[in-house]
């Protein structure tokens, strides 16, 4: 599964993968795997990202267009 919204949110807010990885408690490399879809994003990381960007997990997963 590819997660285009987590990459778009990161880039729109001028964060690096390393910075967001630190927010969710993973290395830059692991976070890069999440963005590229090489690894599934675990539920706890999705929740941390949703809280950080003040959006819903459904938005991050592309299930809704409402942030």
In sign, the C-alpha dihedral spanning 47, 23, 39, 58 is: positive
| Biggest CA pair distance of the chain | 29
Instruction: Say what the pLDDT of residue 67 is.
Output: 86
* Percent over 70 (pLDDT), the chain: 100
pLDDT average, residue stretch 1-5:
85
Instruction: Say what the pLDDT of residue 1 is.
Output: 72
Tell the residue number behind the tokens 């459904």, with chain if given: 58
pLDDT exceeds 90 at position 23: yes
pTM of the model: 0.92
In order of start, what are the domains of the chain with their CATH numbers? 4-60 (1.10.260.40)
pLDDT exceeds 90 at position 2: no
pLDDT in tens, 25-50: 999 999 999 999 999 999 999 999 99
In angstroms, rounded to a whole number, what is the distance separating the alpha carbons of residues 56 and 38?
A: 22
């Amino acid at each position: 599964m590819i997660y285009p919204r987590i990459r778009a949110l990161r880039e729109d807010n001028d964060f690096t993968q390393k910075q967001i990885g630190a927010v969710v408690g993973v290395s830059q490399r692991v976070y890069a795997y999440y963005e590229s879809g090489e690894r599934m994003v675990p539920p706890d990381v999705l929740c941390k990202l949703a809280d950080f960007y003040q959006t819903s997990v459904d938005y991050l997963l592309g299930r809704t267009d409402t942030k």
